[in-house]
Structure 1
Amino acid sequence: MQRSLITPHVRVRGAALQHVVSPTTWRDALRLDFSRTGVAAPLRVGLAVGVVLVVGALLGLRDLAGLAALGALVSAFCRPDPYPVRAPRLIALGVGVTAVIAVGATMGTYANSIVTEIVVTAVLAGIACYVVSALRIVGPGAVIFVFAATGAAGYAHSAADIGRATLASAIGAVIGILIALAPWSVELLRSRLLRSSTDDAASKTPPARRESIWVTLAGGQAPAHRKHLAVTAIRIAVAAAIAATIAVAIHLDHPMWAAMGAVAAMQGVEYHLTVRRGVQRLLGNLGGAVIAGVLLAVPLGYWGAVAGIVIFQVLAEILSTVNYALCSLAVTPMALLLTGLSAGLSPEAAVDRVLDTAIGIVVGIVVAALTVRGHDIAALHGHAANAPQADAEPELPQPNSASNHSRS
């Protein structure tokens, strides 16, 4: 009797692991989709990051500019959403990334063991994944929050540092939000200056249903769906902790990068998205590490690094809708250059990045496979049968209010 119960579970997990090496999976990971490519929104993200890095340097605060840039990255979220929906979501994200940086800075100042850092980072990853998924927010995902916490932990060494890091990230988030909403602000201002009627404005912009962030989190989802999101968040937290622990055990210098690798791979709600993102992130990191290694070996200086960060950030945003591997190809050097602004990195850091990311991806896929559900396997078969349309599927569930809007 016990054997009959175990066998189906083994088969389900075996089928999940088999999907990793399936030719369909790898073809799917390499497929390109240029149908949703845009330039305006990526340029605004690059502008937001560039502004805080330039202003920070001009004020003599280069060590804080990187943390402000992490706050400005909220501008990369919610691109498909109508502006009335996007605004409160970006504000919530700005508050979230500021809070995460405050926690990360506190951890860097007072945590006296790597175990504490791993546990806190894993918990933050789980919470971020739940909130981002529950609010149906499209964008870079929870990995940005883990990146922010890790960066703040590396910067802060005193109580004063905690305050400076938190303030810098808050200012960066405000700048990012303002730039992301700039087209809407300009349109509203122009309408008022021209004394356009409300009906005229409505005829140009389809009305969007506004939402309450708290109502959405508290009861906007069916109980079964909230439970699914909670279980997914726990799985991601566990995978992040395991990946970081393995990285520590083999004496890698940046174990939290392994946690980020696990989070980035698993932040897709469905299993086939976890596998696809894992494959794409691994391929992108391999290529990106080569680029980063070359750039870190060259004496770019602060301004050269800023130029590289902005260029790679814009490229990452453009390529995010084309193929996640190409996006990761740009993200890797951007992240390493940004980290190097305050921490200083050698070319060997690029190798660490690949190793840490590989650990995180493998752990993420294994944890996802061991906890996969039966209907996920059925979805895999349906996904394989419809592989040519795979790239039309979003990384996270699209918000209902934005489902008919393309990226701006």
Structure 2
Amino acid sequence: MQVLPRCVPDSSRLAHCRTALKHSVTPATWRRALEVHPVDATIAPAIRVGAATALVLVLGGLLGHGNLAGLGALGALTAAFGRYEPYPQLARKAGFVGIALVVYVAAGALLGAAGWAVWWQIALMSVAAGAAAWLLTAFRIAGPGPVILIFAATAAVGYARSLSDVGPAVAAVAGGVAVGWLAVMTPYFFLPLGPARLAVARALAAVSELGRECEGETLTSARRAVDRAWEVLAHTGRRQDAHVRQLSVLLADAETVVERWTSDRDCATLHTLAEYESELRKVKRRSVLPGVEGPDRDLPAPGRFLPDGMRRLRSRDAAVTAARIAVAALLTGCFCLTVELEHPLWASMGAMAAMQGMTFSQTVQRGIQRLTGNLAGAVLAAALIAAALGYWQTVVVIVVLQTATELVVIRNYGFASVVITPMALLLTGLGSAVTPGIAVSRVIDTLVGVVIGVIVSAVAISRTDDHHVSRSSA
């Protein structure tokens, strides 16, 4: 008798899809979407992104180009990518995103200048959405995701009316990219080992949890944190640094504790390692860690950003994910155009944003968070737009909202959506006049995008994607 795999409740794909769709409407799924996750070290990244956005908007206003400042601010969001990466790796990833933003804005501006029909715009933007997801997934660039590239391209489509508008649009976003890149790289001169210290501190914190509970999930989290810390150390570019050697000694001891924990619960070493966590979390260029001695541990060879990314571009999983997003964006845009909704490209972005999860469960959770967050954010946006703020007042509000986004986005994407919605609409208003009614359009477009995105994800779900099954039965 053949035993069916646990991940598929029925041999039929239709049954698997039906189970996935059922998961998306259960009360437990919606409750999980409201969970707040504990995070650390969010203030510094939020300040960097907020400062980069503020600088671009202020410069745009002072130079008399407030209508282009929104594109510049989108370029400054380069600072929001690659959070917690070691600086050599961050320089490459942020630079890659910056180049992609310039290319997408240039393509969007050319599309707007060409005056092509909306059907063509939707089709091309859907392909661009899939390509953006493909690139950022293959090159493992964490952050706001590919939706930022499409948002920037869509803004450029709306801005450019002739070929003479293409140059200013590209210059604006390029200037913003430069500011954003400098914002994330400036701490390197003061805290070059900051990401490495944080990664090791997180690994020690995860390992110390073994002393409180020794469930399989806790052990897995500890291994993952240790592996991530080794990866960060490998990319620091300072292998001969004495402080890096001390960090590697701590990490090697932590790895030993994890590997032997099931047979030898070395609580003494565990407590000793935990004592170093608070020191590593202090904002210091480097520090001497007393008592940390041992043989040098060879750091793993760092990955190669471009060759490794190009290799992953050829993976089937990356291609399938890109195809799903492209199809969902296309279907969403076409549906909105058919029923004569005002902003079909916004709806396509809603589908794309919802489908950035790695599993179907994450896709549903993100969709719920985006929808509920947009509902609350639309109310705030309508109030702010109705207040008819001047340029400089709008700049202050946008910077505050952007900083707040970075503070809460890892805790819960739904909370971030509450402030992302008014921020996005205010940025749109810098280039063209908007009314409070645009907030209603945003909610409707998001609803359509989320629903279609979830349906496409369920139809195209992999048989090995069973996370939603285990969560539903938990």
Which bin holds the TM-score, normalised by the shorter protein?
0.7 to 0.9
CA–CA separation in structure 1 for the residues paired with 2:48 and 2:29:
33
Q: How does 1:249-268 map to 2 (within 5 A)?
A: 249-268=338-357
CA–CA separation in structure 2 for the residues paired with 1:92 and 1:337:
27
Q: Which residue is 1:404 aligned to?
A: none
Q: How does 1:241-390 map to 2 (within 5 A)?
A: 241-376=330-465, 378-384=466-472
CA–CA separation in structure 1 for the residues paired with 2:185 and 2:338:
44
* CA offset digits 1:249-307 (Å, max 9, x no partner): 22222111101100000011211111000000000000000000000101111111111
Q: TM-score, normalised by structure 1?
A: 0.86
Q: 1:246 to 1:182 in 2, by over 3 A?
A: same
* Preserved contact between residue 84 and residue 210 of structure 1 (Cα < 8 Å): no
* CA offset digits 1:18-53 (Å, max 9, x no partner): 011122211110101133361110111011011000
Work out whether 1:139 is the aligned partner of 2:181: no
Alignment RMSD (CA, Å): 2.1
Highest Rg: 1 or 2?
2
2:442 alignment partner AA: R
Which of residues 308, 319, 337 is equivalent to 1:216? 308
| Structure with bigger RCO (C-alpha 8 Å, 6+ apart) | 1
Work out whether 1:56 is the aligned partner of 2:97: no
* CA offset digits 1:178-237 (Å, max 9, x no partner): 001111133469xxxxxx99624645877796543321222257x6xx201111111101
1:212 alignment partner AA: R
Moved more, 96-105 or 152-161: 152-161
* SS at 1:375 equivalent: coil
* CA offset digits 1:132-191 (Å, max 9, x no partner): 1111111110110110000000001111211111111111101101001111133469xx
1:124 alignment partner AA: A
Q: TM-score, normalised by structure 2?
A: 0.75
Q: Which residue is 2:273 aligned to?
A: none
CA–CA separation in structure 1 for the residues paired with 2:420 and 2:391:
18
* CA offset digits 1:325-369 (Å, max 9, x no partner): 001011000000011100221000000000001110001000001
Contiguous gaps of at least 5 residues in structure 2: 1-9, 194-237, 249-298
CA–CA separation in structure 1 for the residues paired with 2:81 and 2:11:
43
CA–CA separation in structure 2 for the residues paired with 1:205 and 1:104:
46
CA–CA separation in structure 2 for the residues paired with 1:187 and 1:265:
35
CA–CA separation in structure 1 for the residues paired with 2:470 and 2:136:
26
CA–CA separation in structure 1 for the residues paired with 2:303 and 2:387:
48
* SS at 1:157 equivalent: coil
CA–CA separation in structure 2 for the residues paired with 1:45 and 1:211:
27
* Preserved contact between residue 68 and residue 169 of structure 1 (Cα < 8 Å): yes
2:40 alignment partner AA: R
The alignment of Structure 1 onto Structure 2 pairs a total of residues equal to 371
Q: Which residue is 1:3 aligned to?
A: none
Q: Which residue is 1:164 aligned to?
A: 168
Q: How does 1:34-183 map to 2 (within 5 A)?
A: 34-36=38-40, 38-183=42-187
Q: 1:301 to 1:365 in 2, by over 3 A?
A: same
* Preserved contact between residue 135 and residue 213 of structure 1 (Cα < 8 Å): yes
* Preserved contact between residue 115 and residue 161 of structure 2 (Cα < 8 Å): no
Contiguous gaps of at least 5 residues in structure 1: 1-5, 190-195, 387-408
Q: 1:208 to 1:316 in 2, by over 3 A?
A: farther
CA–CA separation in structure 2 for the residues paired with 1:87 and 1:228:
26
CA–CA separation in structure 2 for the residues paired with 1:325 and 1:163:
36
* Preserved contact between residue 37 and residue 321 of structure 1 (Cα < 8 Å): no
1:217 alignment partner AA: G
* Preserved contact between residue 88 and residue 213 of structure 1 (Cα < 8 Å): yes
Identity %: 40
